[in-house]
C-alpha cells in the first residue's frame, strides 16, 4: 500500500498500491493501482497500458487520466479533477519488462507481441491472486498508441478465461493496422493543409494511376516517382517541427533540428522514431535500424516527439518516491520510454482484425476512440480499420456532447455505432486524449461503462 505520496499536501481518501506482478521467467512488472473514488467495492476494474512499444503506463497515470499531476518543479503533486478513478478502479501496468520500473533479473529484454500478451496475462492473473476481492468486478482492458496491439492481443487471451469477468476493451488512438495508418496519414496531411496540390496530384498520379476513388495505398507504389513523393510527405511529418502527437499543439522545447541529434550532457544520440510510423518507407526504416544499433550499444536516448516529461521523471526518480512505490534499489531509473525495450522489440503483427473479431464474437463491447488532430495514429486510419471489419451499423455518424468546465454543453466529437463497437472521435484532441480534453474523455468513459447513448 502507498501510505503517503511525497509532495501531496492532502493525502487521498482512496486506497492505492504499488508493487510487482509476476510474468514469465524472472520478469517482474510494476503496477500502480488506484481504487475508485466512488465505490471501489462495486465499480469496474480497468487495466491501462501505454504504448511505444517501450513507454511507461505511469506516464498515463501522471499526465493523462490518473488522480495525480506533477508540477513543473518535479516535486509538488496536485489532484486531477477528471481522473478516471472517479468512475473505476484503475491498474496502471508498466509493460513489457524493462519499461519504467519493470525489470527482469536476467536483463534480457528481447520480446515480441505474443510474449508481451502472455506476460501481461500472467501479471493479470497474479493481480487477481493478490486482490481476489476484485475477481468478480466487471473488467476492461484499455490502452493507447501501440496499446492498439497490446490491448487486442491481451483481450484475445482474457476472453477465454472464465475466471475473469471480462466485459470489453478500449483502444485510444491505437495502431490497429500499419498499412492503413500510414496511407490514411497521407490523406490527413493533404486535407489539413500540410502540403499542396502539386504534391497531392503527384501522389495520386504516380502511386494510384490518377484514381481518386477508394483508399489509395500510396506506400505500395512501385515507381521511383511515387516513392519520392511518399518520402517527401513522411519527411514533412517527421522533420518539419510539427507536433506529431497534436497537429495544432506546440512542440515542447521548440522545433527540434530533426533526425538524430546528439545530447552533450547525456553523451547519447536522441531519436524520436519508434519505428512503426511510415515503416514501409525506406529512409524511415533505415533510420530505425540505425537507432536499434545505437540503442544496443547504450548510445541512444529515446524520447517521444515534442513531449516534455522531465517533471515526471524527476519526481519518480527521487529516493523518497521510489521507497514509497516499493521499488527495489537494483531497478533502473524511471524514464518515459525505454530505448532498450524498443531496440529489442519484435513486432509480430501488422493488423489486429483477427483479435478484434474474436473479442466481438464473444459479444464483448469495444470502444475505439481517436483525438482528431493526432498524426501518430490518426482517426482516419482507425476509421478505415473499423469499417473493414464489416460490422452491422446500429447508428450513423453523429455528434456527441459533454459538459465543459463552465457548465455549458459542447460538442465533444463524433460517433458511429456498430454492433458492440463504438467508433468515437474527440474534437481538438491529439494522441493523448485525456491530457488534451480531460472532461470529454471522462464523459466518453462514463458513456461506455454505463452503456449510455452518445447522443
Residue ranges per domain, the chain? 16-176+349-450
With cut-offs at 50, 70 and 90, classify the pLDDT of residue 275. low
With cut-offs at 50, 70 and 90, classify the pLDDT of residue 274. low
Please identify which residue in the block is written with the cell numbers 446500429.
394
Averaged pLDDT for residues 337-343: 89
How many Å apart are CA 278 and CA 244, to the nearest integer?
13
Of residues 52 and 84, the one with the higher pLDDT is 84
At residue 222, the pLDDT reads 86
- CATH number corresponding to 16-176+349-450: 3.40.50.1820
At residue 269, the pLDDT reads 46
At residue 278, the pLDDT reads 66
- Is the pLDDT reported for residue 94 higher than 90? yes
pTM, entire model: 0.93
By DSSP bridging, strand 261-263 and strand 345-346 are unpaired
Give the other-Cβ count within 10 Å of 60's Cβ.
29
Percent of the chain residues past pLDDT 90, beyond the cut:
81
Please identify which residue in the block is written with the cell numbers 501505454.
50
Quick: pLDDT tens for 99-149: 999 999 999 999 999 999 999 999 999 999 999 999 999 999 999 999 999
Buried-exposed string 291-327: b where 16+ CB fall within 10 A, e elsewhere: bbebbeeeebbbbbbbbebebbbbbbeeeebbeebeb
Averaged pLDDT for residues 247-252: 93
With cut-offs at 50, 70 and 90, classify the pLDDT of residue 431. very high
At residue 299, the pLDDT reads 53
How many Å apart are CA 255 and CA 257, to the nearest integer?
7
- Is the pLDDT reported for residue 307 higher than 90? no
Please identify which residue in the block is written with the cell numbers 481538438.
428
132-to-42, 90, 137, 164 alpha-carbon distances in Å? 13, 15, 10, 11
Averaged pLDDT for residues 162-190: 97
Residue from 419, 422, 381, 378 nearest 400 by CA: 422
- Is the pLDDT reported for residue 333 higher than 50? yes
Least confident piece of the model among 41-45, 176-180, 272-276: 272-276
Of residues 222 and 5, the one with the higher pLDDT is 5
220-to-5, 64, 207, 212, 230 alpha-carbon distances in Å? 52, 36, 8, 16, 10
Buried-exposed string 136-147: b where 16+ CB fall within 10 A, e elsewhere: ebebbbbbbbbb
- Reply yes or no: is the peptide bond before residue 53 cis, omega within 30 of 0: yes
Averaged pLDDT for residues 320-339: 96
With cut-offs at 50, 70 and 90, classify the pLDDT of residue 62. very high
- 96 backbone φψ class: left, alpha, beta (φ>0; ψ -120 to 50): beta
- Reply yes or no: is the peptide bond before residue 96 cis, omega within 30 of 0: yes
Q: Which residues are catalytic?
A: 145, 374, 431
Question: What is the chain's mean pLDDT, rounded?
Answer: 92
Amino acid at each position: 500500500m502507498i501510505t503517503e505520496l511525497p509532495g501531496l499536501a492532502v493525502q487521498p481518501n482512496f486506497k492505492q498500491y504499488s508493487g510487482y506482478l509476476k510474468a514469465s521467467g524472472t520478469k517482474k512488472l510494476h503496477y500502480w493501482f488506484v481504487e475508485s473514488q466512488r465505490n471501489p467495492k462495486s465499480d469496474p476494474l480497468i487495466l491501462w497500458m501505454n504504448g511505444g512499444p517501450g513507454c511507461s503506463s505511469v506516464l498515463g497515470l501522471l499526465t493523462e487520466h490518473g488522480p495525480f499531476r506533477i508540477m513543473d518543479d518535479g516535486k509538488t503533486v496536485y489532484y486531477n479533477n477528471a481522473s478516471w478513478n472517479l468512475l473505476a478502479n484503475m491498474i496502471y501496468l508498466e509493460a513489457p519488462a524493462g519499461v519504467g520500473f519493470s525489470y527482469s533479473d536476467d536483463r534480457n529484454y528481447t520480446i515480441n507481441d505474443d510474449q508481451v500478451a502472455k506476460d501481461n496475462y500472467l501479471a493479470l492473473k497474479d493481480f487477481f491472486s493478490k486482490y481476489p476481492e476484485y475477481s468478480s468486478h466487471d473488467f476492461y482492458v484499455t490502452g493507447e498508441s501501440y496499446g492498439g496491439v497490446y490491448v487486442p492481443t491481451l483481450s484475445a487471451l482474457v476472453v477465454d478465461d472464465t475466471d475473469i469477468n471480462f466485459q470489453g476493451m478500449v483502444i485510444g488512438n491505437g495502431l490497429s493496422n500499419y498499412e492503413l495508418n500510414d496511407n490514411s496519414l497521407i490523406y490527413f496531411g493533404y486535407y489539413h493543409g500540410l502540403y499542396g496540390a502539386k504534391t497531392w496530384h503527384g501522389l495520386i498520379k504516380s502511386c494510384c494511376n490518377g484514381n481518386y476513388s477508394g483508399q489509395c495505398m500510396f506506400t505500395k507504389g512501385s515507381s521511383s516517382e511515387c516513392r519520392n513523393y511518399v518520402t517527401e510527405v513522411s519527411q514533412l511529418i517527421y522533420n518539419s517541427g510539427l507536433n506529431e502527437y497534436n497537429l495544432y499543439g506546440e512542440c515542447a522545447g521548440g522545433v527540434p533540428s530533426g533526425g538524430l541529434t546528439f545530447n552533450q550532457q547525456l553523451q547519447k544520440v536522441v531519436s524520436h522514431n519508434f519505428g512503426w510510423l511510415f515503416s514501409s518507407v525506406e529512409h524511415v526504416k533505415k533510420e530505425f535500424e540505425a537507432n536499434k544499433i545505437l540503442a544496443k550499444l547504450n548510445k541512444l536516448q529515446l524520447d517521444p516527439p515534442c513531449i516534455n516529461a522531465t517533471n515526471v521523471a524527476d519526481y519518480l526518480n527521487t529516493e523518497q518516491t521510489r521507497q514509497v512505490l516499493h521499488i527495489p534499489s537494483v531497478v533502473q531509473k524511471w524514464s518515459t520510454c525505454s530505448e532498450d525495450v524498443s531496440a529489442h522489440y519484435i513486432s509480430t503483427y501488422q493488423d489486429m482484425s483477427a483479435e478484434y473479431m474474436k473479442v466481438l464474437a464473444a459479444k464483448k463491447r469495444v470502444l475505439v476512440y481517436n483525438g482528431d488532430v493526432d498524426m501518430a495514429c490518426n482517426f482516419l486510419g482507425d476509421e478505415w480499420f473499423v469499417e473493414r471489419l464489416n460490422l452491422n451499423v446500429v447508428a450513423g455518424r453523429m455528434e456527441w456532447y459533454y459538459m465543459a468546465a463552465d457548465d455549458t454543453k459542447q460538442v465533444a466529437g463524433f460517433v458511429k455505432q456498430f454492433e458492440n463497437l463504438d467508433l468515437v472521435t474527440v474534437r481538438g484532441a491529439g494522441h493523448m486524449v485525456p491530457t488534451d480534453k480531460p472532461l470529454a474523455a471522462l464523459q466518453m468513459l462514463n458513456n461506455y461503462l454505463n452503456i449510455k447513448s452518445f447522443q
